Amino acid sequence: MTARLAPDSAAVPPLAPLPMPVQDLRRLPQGGPGPRRMGGWQVGAARIVAFGGGALIGVVGGLQMRLVFGDHTTFLQACLLTLFTITFTWVGFSFTSMLSGIFARPLTTPSGANTARIAVVMPVYHEDPAETAGRLVALARDLYRVGLGDRSEIFVLSDSRRPESHLAETMAISRLRDLSPVPVWYRRRTDNTGRKAGNVAQFLRNWGGRYDQMLVLDADSLVGAETIAIMSARMTADPKLGLIQTMPMLLGGQTIFARLTQFAGRIYGPAIARGVAAWSGDDGNFWGHNALIRVQAFAESCGLPELPGRPPFGGHILSHDFVEAALMRRAGWKVRLDHDLRQSYEGSPPSLVDNAVRERRWAQGNLQHLKVIWARGLSLVSRAHFTIGIMGFLMSPIWLGMILVGLALSANVLLSRPEYFPNSYQLFPNWPVFDPQRMLWLFACAMGFLLLPKFIAIARACLRPLAAESGGPLRLIISALFEILLSALIAPVQMLIQTRQIFDILRGRDSGWEAQVRAGTMPPWHVVLAHHWMHMVLGLTTLVVLAFMSPGQLIWLSPILAGLILSPAISRWSASPVFGRIARMRGLLATPEELSTPPLISAANFQTARIKPETADALSRLGSDGALMSRHLALLPEPNPQRPAAERLHEISAAAKIAAAQNRNEALTFLSVSELDALIGSSVLLKQWAALSP
């Protein structure tokens, strides 16, 4: 490995190709699936508790619901019974999954020599390059501090399409190279085949042979060097360990919505992660980032095929991470969630609307897994991960269906005339049977399964230093109650949003590929009304109808109706950074990482502020600043005059327009967006443009 790179060094290292064959989901890999072991009695016990307990809860709940209706079940009652049983099983499994964490295996870090070469890989797509570079500067210096600097390199893999993003990235990466004590490489693709998964696959096929392990980061995520060292040591000590996933902690949230999400993740997340780690064992999952991966294992088993058919169900696999984990496990590699790792961070969406945009892509990706779940050779637990991901989105239309069927049953009772003697020769009447007390107990049990994991996590936090680090037990309890209340109001809105997303996917609408929103501002009323008017109208209509026809129904539907009616206000105000700052000043929804910022995050924020001014208005300075031009040219690929003319049409037209221009500014006004992108990416065109007068 090389030391710090000079600013004018090549953008990428010499090629070190690594084969990455495309996998066939319909056939077993050569040699069949690799040997897989459960991972010890603890894993078996955890699976019995999680899956067996969840199934038992579902069966008991379904049988009790059957008794609510008596012996003669109508069609609507049968529909409600089916939907209720699925929902009851789901909430029961969420409880038993967390409960299985008592069997989580202890994790140790071996000592000994470790010479594994590590690539820190960060794919980016229209991100803020100063923030990306700032995080990587902090990480690079942390790697050097813990002694990983001589065997680590950073690789920024850009899929950005906008010319201004490309130029800002080269400015930020050039500055990153100045400040980083470890080598930094930068590659921008012009063909975005396969999106993020294709980006990483192309990196491995070109340079994978240079590294033993790779840490995959998102543009808003970060992992501390000490945690990287622990993961690298564990992976080196176990030659069959293919992937170690961390449990990222959310931070940096400025809005109420983001702070709510990061508080919930910090307080409830560790217990949930411990449970998932316990029953997953060596059949763990991959969440796409903040994970260390054995390069050889990933390359030989994770070449993703395109799914048959057209999007949204066919084409490139969107939620590729689940599939990659399943394929690694199919090949015999261990995939593990190490719940004890800290120093793993990521950001969260700032608003309900932004979260819906991200979940739209996830919904499509998870439904695509219906075509993957039956792939040959997958382990049962890998299939369980797929099922859980799919059901996570299908539960919204199931929940909505259960509510609608319940309302239809009530309307049927109110509007129809009961017929107790359907047969004229019948001696005894058919009395309708409904057991309200049993129904009330089932409702209480369902709410208990939903809330008990939160109460356990809150009690656990209050008995540990986590409470003191989050502002004290009283503030933590108040924050948790606020989180439960606001989450209850948001839940019905998310139910309708996800139901609409499922409907759009089923009728063939593709999600596309949009850059994620990282920073939030409070949206104006017309924006939130445009997103939530239907939710508000549905809530008001249901309220009016029930108030006249069945006021008693309003008691148990009031949280749902309140969330729908207030959805525009909740969506707008929860996206307010001002309210977020007020909550922070009052110590509400606080996390330890917010009250005592980790040094790595402080360093990343400092470096971001240091780099940001240098990426601003770069195009206006590029033609007259020779040093700036040299830095940008150093990060461009070598010109390839052998490319077919059909692939260079934008370059050819840009060259003609630049030749016809009187000065640099006029040339820029002549260029279309595609031609400007060709200019920014071509050293030949840039030199031609820079030769013009200012």
Peptide bond into 312 cis (omega under 30): yes
pLDDT mean across residues, the chain = 89
Helices H / strands E in the chain, number of each = 27, 10
Query: For residue range 344-359, what is the model confidence (pLDDT) as tens digits?
Result: 999 988 999 889 988 9
**Residue 46: is it exposed, middle or buried by C-beta count within 10 angstroms (0-12/13-18/19+)?**
buried
Q: What confidence tier does 419 reach under pLDDT thresholds 50, 70, 90?
A: low
State residue 658's pLDDT score: 92
Per the structure block, which two tokens stand in for 271? Answer: 């217990």
Query: For residue range 592-632, what is the model confidence (pLDDT) as tens digits?
Result: 998 899 999 999 999 999 998 877 777 878 878 888 888 89
Average pLDDT of 558-586? Answer: 91
Residue count (the chain): 694
Q: Name 669's bridge partners.
A: none
Instruction: Give the phi and the psi of residue 613 in degrees, each rounded to 5.
Output: -60, -25
Q: What confidence tier does 431 reach under pLDDT thresholds 50, 70, 90?
A: very low
Q: Name the nearest CA neighbour of 247 among 213, 215, 272, 220.
A: 272
> Contact, 278 vs 101, CB < 8 A?
yes
Average pLDDT of 104-120? Answer: 92
State residue 491's pLDDT score: 93
Residue 37 has pLDDT above 90, yes or no: no
Q: Name 346's bridge partners.
A: 250
Average pLDDT of 76-102? Answer: 94
Residue 646 is classified by DSSP as G
Residue 4 has pLDDT above 70, yes or no: no
Average pLDDT of 375-392? Answer: 96
State residue 549's pLDDT score: 78
- Percentage of the chain modeled with pLDDT above 70: 94
Using CA atoms, how far apart are residues 117 and 209, in angstroms rounded to an integer? 10
Q: What confidence tier does 518 reach under pLDDT thresholds 50, 70, 90?
A: low
Residue 245's H or E segment, with its range, is strand 241-245
Query: For residue range 164-193, what is the model confidence (pLDDT) as tens digits?
Result: 899 999 999 999 999 999 999 999 998 888
Rounded-to-10 torsion of CA 154, 199, 163, 632: 30
Query: For residue range 635-682, what is the model confidence (pLDDT) as tens digits?
Result: 998 887 777 887 888 999 999 999 999 998 899 999 999 999 999 999
Residue 492 has pLDDT above 70, yes or no: yes
AA identity, residue 474: L
State residue 416's pLDDT score: 59
Average pLDDT of 515-526? Answer: 74
Average pLDDT of 563-572? Answer: 93
Average pLDDT of 439-456? Answer: 89
State residue 411's pLDDT score: 76
Residue 516 has pLDDT above 80, yes or no: no
Residues 6+ apart with CB under 8 A from 462: 473, 476, 477
Residue 263 has pLDDT above 90, yes or no: yes
For 447, the 3-state DSSP assignment is helix
State residue 469's pLDDT score: 87
For 22, the 3-state DSSP assignment is strand
Residue 542 has pLDDT above 60, yes or no: yes
Per the structure block, which two tokens stand in for 76? Answer: 């609507």
Q: What confidence tier does 514 reach under pLDDT thresholds 50, 70, 90?
A: low
Residue 517 is classified by DSSP as P
State residue 466's pLDDT score: 87
**Is pLDDT larger for residue 40 or for residue 179?**
179
